[in-house]
Structure 1
Amino acid sequence: MTEKNNKKHSVRKQGRIRLLVQVLCAAVVNGYAIGFAKGKIFTGDSKAVCLPVLNCYSCPGALGACPIGALQAVLGGHKHNISFYVLGFLMLFGVVLGRFICGFLCPFGLVQDLLHKIPSPKFRLPDKVHRPLTWLKYGVLALLVVLLPIFLTNSFGIAPPYFCKWICPAGTLGGAFPLMAKNESLRMAVGFLFQWKVGVLAVILLASVFLTRPFCKYLCPLGAFYGLFHRFSFYQMHLDHHTCIDCQACEKACPMQVPVRENINSRECIRCGKCKAVCPTCSISSGFRPPTDPAKVPLKKQEPES
């Protein structure tokens, strides 16, 4: 019983540490408090620097630029250039951390996590539905972020940021609502597009109460991009198959429905550590440059006793 209580305490402690990191990150990237008070967007020099997380450029408190918005802005310009700065920035964070950024640093991920704490029935989509749907975010990345800004332009050869304009819930929550609260002219200009975005946001927020991180699982193009680098990112999860007892506790605890025993470094893993926290044999570890998977290393033959 003592061992079980210690395990529960460890799980709660890890959860509190992760929540603290999430809250601190959200406060730092949206640290321009005056912007919320005045309803004005921060325009300092740091606004030219991309953040590694999905965080709306138009949020009054945002101190940096959203990488997805920046990428669309360059691709959708009349010259249709490729922003090697933005791509290089995203690739750097993808190679170093992978989707650890989604699990620990993304403000909209925090919003979904907090909503999921609301007492209510909790659901997990069946794998035959869940797994195909996880590919939807790659379609969002390819179509709305890359292809449409390049090929679907106006008469001046310029394209709107399609993902930001039609889908991004972080923009509606962090940008539109705070700005409209302080600007009557914006409230008077509300039309179909805003109503559509509010509807999208409402569906995602409501779904987050019952499903863990639905936006991260199925729609986020930034998570899709980082997922491309996940298998070889420097920060990795590690499962010791020799000590694993196949109890499936890790897979039951995983909020992203990762088949932990089959592929612990799946593109869907957000490195939240919940699988590691519940493992009864401590077979799961994480960190930079973990040891080689014992499952791929032959066991040493024991020397016969003399």
Structure 2
Amino acid sequence: MKKKINYRLISQIFFFALVALITMNHYLAESGDGLPFIGSMSLHAICPYGGVATFVALLKYGVFVQKIHPSSLVMLGIILFAGVLFGPVVCSYACPLGSIQEWIGKIGKRVFKKHNKIIPYSIDSKLRYVRYFVLIFTVYVTTNSLKLMFLNIDPYYALFNFWSEEAVVGGIVALIATLVLSLLVERPWCKYFCPFGALMGLTNFIRIFKIRRKSETCIDCKACDRACPMNIKVSDKEVVRNHQCISCGECTSDAVCPVEDTVEMKM
């Protein structure tokens, strides 16, 4: 049987390389050695989460948060539009931090038998709401200070700046902890702490193209449940509206479901 092309992996590698190139080029541009066709844009200019606090600051004070570029608002708008259509696809197809957690998680699956099942459900189910507290708290603090306070603990920023003088100790510690935990838990930052993931997770309740399971043809093999990196029980739902879904498509008939057209993303 012909092996299917993994378009999601290709997308993950592309965006990881793109963000790394932009970040490195910004660093080089400061000394006059940057690539001219990219320009000197920084990581802040392409960070949609920076656009969240800036949008609130614009409404409240009519000003931008420090270091945030208008392009962040454009990025935010594009991603939210995609979210309304397909849910949090940016989390599974484009986010570099999500991708590297996933790649390390593949190593964890080979080493630890209880990978992604190590945290008891009673604790795991509560931890998943922490990211909403992080969202509310960081937007509140950033809006009132007009400074990117989240940088002090942001593993995403640390991932692409750990080698430079812009690295923050708190961010590096958060990054190391995230990568180590990825050996045991699938996408731990995404599940429990990511504020932008929390915002995007809400699009699962209004998205147009949904993950749907056809109960008439479902054979209850639970393959979709085992494949879901976010531990969502797809097999007992007609439509997946879970706020943790990242629209990765790992549960669909094209990926793991043995029955054609049983689990699909459609209107």
TM-score of the aligned structures, taking structure 2 as reference length: 0.78
TM-score of the aligned structures, taking structure 1 as reference length: 0.69
Distance in 2 (alpha carbons) for counterparts of 1:93 and 1:42: 30
The question of whether the paired residues in 1 share the 8 Å contact of 2:250 and 2:256 is answered with yes
SS of 2:210's equivalent in the other structure is strand
The question of whether the paired residues in 2 share the 8 Å contact of 1:120 and 1:210 is answered with no
Would the alpha carbon gap of residues 239 and 199 (structure 1) be closer, same or farther in structure 2, given more than 3 Å must change? Answer: same
Aligned to 1:66: 47
1:219: how far off? Answer: 1.0
1:279 to 254, 257, 260: 257
Alignment of 1:72-91 (within 5 A): 72-73=53-54, 75=56, 80-81=61-62, 85=73, 88-91=77-80
CA RMSD of aligned residues (A): 3.2
Aligned to 2:155: 169
Distance in 2 (alpha carbons) for counterparts of 1:284 and 1:94: 20
Distance in 1 (alpha carbons) for counterparts of 2:175 and 2:149: 16
**How many equivalent residue pairs?**
245
1:150: how far off? Answer: 3.3
Aligned to 1:130: 124
SS of 1:237's equivalent in the other structure is strand
1:101 aligns with 2:90: yes
Aligned to 2:67: none
Aligned to 1:147: 140
1:30: how far off? Answer: 4.2
1:23 to 13, 17, 26: 13
| Contiguous gaps of at least 5 residues in structure 1 | 1-5, 49-55, 58-63, 154-158, 181-185, 290-306
Distance in 1 (alpha carbons) for counterparts of 2:184 and 2:194: 18
The question of whether the paired residues in 2 share the 8 Å contact of 1:217 and 1:268 is answered with yes
Alignment of 1:1-306 (within 5 A): 13=4, 16-32=6-22, 35=25, 38=28, 40=30, 47=41, 56-57=43-44, 64-73=45-54, 75=56, 80-81=61-62, 85=73, 88-118=77-107, 119-121=110-112, 122-124=115-117, 125-144=119-138, 146-151=139-144, 153=145, 159-163=146-150, 165-174=151-160, 176-180=161-165, 194-263=168-237, 264-276=240-252, 277-282=255-260, 283-287=262-266, 289=267
The question of whether the paired residues in 2 share the 8 Å contact of 1:113 and 1:208 is answered with yes
**Which residue identity lines up with residue 265 of structure 1 in the other structure?**
R
The question of whether the paired residues in 2 share the 8 Å contact of 1:74 and 1:81 is answered with no
| Contiguous gaps of at least 5 residues in structure 2 | 65-69
Distance in 1 (alpha carbons) for counterparts of 2:57 and 2:206: 30
1:260: how far off? Answer: 0.8
The question of whether the paired residues in 2 share the 8 Å contact of 1:26 and 1:106 is answered with yes
SS of 1:286's equivalent in the other structure is strand
For each residue in 1:197-250, what CA deviation from the matched residue of structure 2 results, as whole angstroms up to 9, or x when unmatched? 221111111001221100111111111111111122133211101111222221
Distance in 2 (alpha carbons) for counterparts of 1:28 and 1:96: 24
For each residue in 1:124-175, what CA deviation from the matched residue of structure 2 results, as whole angstroms up to 9, or x when unmatched? 223222221111111111111x212234x3xxxxx42222x2321010111x
**Which residue identity lines up with residue 121 of structure 2 in the other structure?**
D
Would the alpha carbon gap of residues 95 and 245 (structure 1) be closer, same or farther in structure 2, given more than 3 Å must change? Answer: same
